[in-house]
């Protein structure tokens, strides 16, 4: 099918050449608003998930239904959690309705097949971005929504104070995860001779752990924290050891080969980060309707006045001009989402702070 794609980037580059960087930075408003109306080119692209999502009026989001803090199906049928909120944010961005989302519960080993078969439009399920998954699972990973690392949880009445105390331990993990390989590697690195035992479902690890069949339960620290909070014998019966022995950037993913859909999901995540940086929250977003800050006007899809008239910025992503407004209004900014679901578990922002606070959360300019 034919799609019209704005070529603003090329025109912006021309602007820089003719007027110099400083001038372009000071007076980009008129250039960018003018180009939104006139500068387009037509290219052939394959059909996008955007079309099927728009037609269906719903985003199918591959996630979880029982991971405290991240994605929990409640008795009233609603989903609550950090990952659930990013699923809702995508629906708010694309369809203007955060509730227009079908949450598809996936076990770890089914995640990529669900994406490949089209059973889900996007995966937001504590999934680590690795090179092999990028290259071998037909998955395109987007901006991480949580930078994590692998850790070890043990019984509080065990004698383990450190991973290096766990000589000959049985370490229980979920099948189809990065956790399996990392645990084996850590065991051989430290010469601990672990038996890494893999289970199809988290519930089965829990059963085995309760039955005393596991000396350690290894996973991403964020997940261990969530699972610990819901432990049947109480959170205090478990301890998460201090070591973090891998990098686990948890990132939403879409199927390879659909750049438009990938950009849409990416900019939805980035919008939550940018909103936090601007200080725009679900509670105060409407007060920015009269903002005179051009950066905020662009971001919220507000009319930007210029000598040529007024227009809203359309960067050509295939998103409605007010997508960031809808995301923030209906779901919240990154900090709000984190505070609502992860702070109560005791997780700190740490590397997931904004870059302005020394963290890794950084959105490219929306212009
Ligand atoms: N981030 C790792 C681990 C992800 C993962 O899903 N781990 C298991 C281990 S506990 C899991 O299913 N957790 C959530 C759940 O079952 O609710 C990966 O992408 O492989």
Helices 334-341 and 82-95, axial angle in degrees (round to 10): 140
pLDDT tens digits for the chain (367 residues)?
Answer: 333 333 333 333 322 222 333 333 333 333 343 334 333 444 445 689 999 999 999 999 999 999 999 999 999 999 999 999 999 999 999 999 999 999 999 999 999 999 999 999 999 999 999 999 999 999 999 999 999 999 999 999 999 999 999 999 999 999 999 999 999 999 999 999 999 999 999 999 999 999 999 999 999 999 999 999 999 999 999 999 999 999 999 999 999 999 999 999 999 999 999 999 999 999 999 999 999 999 999 999 999 998 889 999 999 999 999 999 999 999 999 999 999 999 999 999 999 999 999 999 999 999 9
The distance in angstroms from the start CA to the end CA of the chain is 27
User: Would you kindly state where each structural domain of the chain is located, as residue ranges?
Assistant: 2-46, 51-147, 150-246, 267-357
Residue nearest to atom 20 of ligand 1 (CA): 177
DSSP string, 75-123: TTS-EESHHHHHHHHHHHHHHS-TT-EEEEE--GGGHHHHHHHTS-SEE
Query: Are 103 and 84 a contacting pair, CB within 8 Å?
Result: yes
pLDDT of residue 20: 31
Angstrom distance (rounded) from CA 2 to CA 81: 38
Instruction: Give the Å distance between the CA of 178 and the centre of ligand 1.
Output: 9
Instruction: Give the Å distance between the CA of 109 and the centre of ligand 1.
Output: 9
At 35 the three-state DSSP class reads helix
Query: Which atom of ligand 1 is nearest to 67's Cα?
Result: 17
At residue 73, φ and ψ (nearest 5 deg) are -85, 120
Using CB atoms within 10 Å of the CB of residue 19, give its burial: 0 to 12 exposed, 13 to 18 middle, 19+ buried.
Answer: middle
Q: Under CATH, which number does the domain 51-147 receive?
A: 3.40.190.10
Query: Are 70 and 222 a contacting pair, CB within 8 Å?
Result: yes
Query: Are 121 and 244 a contacting pair, CB within 8 Å?
Result: no
Instruction: Give the Å distance between the CA of 44 and the centre of ligand 1.
Output: 38
Query: Which atom of ligand 1 is nearest to 133's Cα?
Result: 19
pLDDT of residue 2: 35
At 328 the three-state DSSP class reads helix
Instruction: Give the Å distance between the CA of 68 and the centre of ligand 1.
Output: 12
Task: For a ligand 1 pocket test, name from 219, 227, 246, 253 the mutation site with the most ligand atoms within 8 angstroms of its C-beta.
Answer: 219
Instruction: Give the Å distance between the CA of 108 and the centre of ligand 1.
Output: 6
Residue nearest to atom 3 of ligand 1 (CA): 177
| 323 Cβ neighbours under 8 A, 6+ residues apart | 92, 93, 94, 267, 268, 271, 301
H/E stretch holding 132: helix 131-136
Residue nearest to atom 14 of ligand 1 (CA): 67
Instruction: Give the Å distance between the CA of 175 and the centre of ligand 1.
Output: 9
Query: Are 266 and 143 a contacting pair, CB within 8 Å?
Result: yes
Is the pTM value of this prediction over 0.75? yes
The residue among 326, 264, 335, 303 whose CA lies nearest residue 37 is 303
Topology agreement, domain 51-147 and domain 150-246: yes
Reading the block at residue 345, the tokens are 């578990």
Select the CATH number that applies to the domain covering 150-246 from these four: 3.40.640.10, 3.40.470.10, 3.30.230.10, 3.40.190.10. 3.40.190.10
Residue nearest to atom 12 of ligand 1 (CA): 108
Residues with CB under 6 A from ligand 1: 64, 66-67, 108, 126-128, 174, 177-179, 202, 219-220, 223, 248, 250
pLDDT of residue 47: 86
């Amino acid at each position: 099918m034919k799609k019209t794609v704005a070529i603003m980037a090329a025109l912006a580059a021309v602007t820089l050449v003719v007027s110099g960087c400083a001038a372009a930075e000071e007076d980009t408003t008129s250039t960018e608003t003018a180009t939104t109306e006139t500068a387009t080119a037509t290219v052939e692209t394959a059909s996008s998930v955007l079309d099927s999502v728009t037609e269906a009026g719903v985003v199918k989001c591959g996630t979880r239904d029982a991971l405290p803090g991240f994605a929990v199906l409640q008795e009233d049928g609603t989903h609550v959690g950090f990952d659930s909120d990013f699923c809702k944010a995508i629906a708010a961005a694309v369809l203007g309705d955060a509730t227009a989302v079908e949450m598809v519960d996936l076990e770890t080993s089914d995640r990529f097949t669900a994406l490949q078969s089209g059973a889900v439009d996007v995966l937001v399920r504590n999934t680590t971005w690795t090179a092999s998954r990028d290259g071998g699972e037909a998955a395109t990973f987007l901006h991480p929504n949580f930078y994590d690392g692998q850790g070890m949880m043990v019984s509080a009445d065990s004698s383990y104070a450190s991973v290096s105390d766990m000589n000959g331990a049985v370490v229980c993990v979920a099948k189809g995860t990065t956790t399996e390989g990392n645990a084996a590697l850590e065991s051989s690195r430290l010469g601990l001779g672990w038996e890494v035992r893999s289970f199809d479902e988290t519930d089965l690890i829990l059963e085995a752990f309760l039955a005393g069949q596991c000396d350690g339960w290894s996973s991403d620290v964020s997940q261990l924290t969530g699972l610990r909070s819901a432990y049947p014998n109480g959170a205090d019966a478990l301890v998460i050891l201090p070591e973090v022995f891998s990098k686990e950037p948890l990132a939403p993913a879409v199927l390879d080969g659909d750049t438009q859909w990938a950009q849409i999901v990416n900019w939805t995540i980035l919008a939550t980060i940018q909103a936090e940086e601007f200080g725009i929250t679900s509670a105060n977003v409407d007060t920015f309707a009269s903002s005179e800050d051009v950066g905020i006007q662009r971001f919220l899809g507000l009319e930007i006045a210029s000598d040529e008239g007024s227009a809203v910025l359309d960067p050509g992503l295939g998103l409605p001009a007010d997508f960031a407004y809808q995301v923030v209004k209906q779901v919240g900014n990154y900090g709000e989402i984190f505070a609502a679901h992860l702070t109560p578990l005791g997780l700190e922002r740490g590397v997931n702070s904004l870059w302005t606070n020394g963290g890794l959360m950084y959105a490219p300019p929306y212009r």
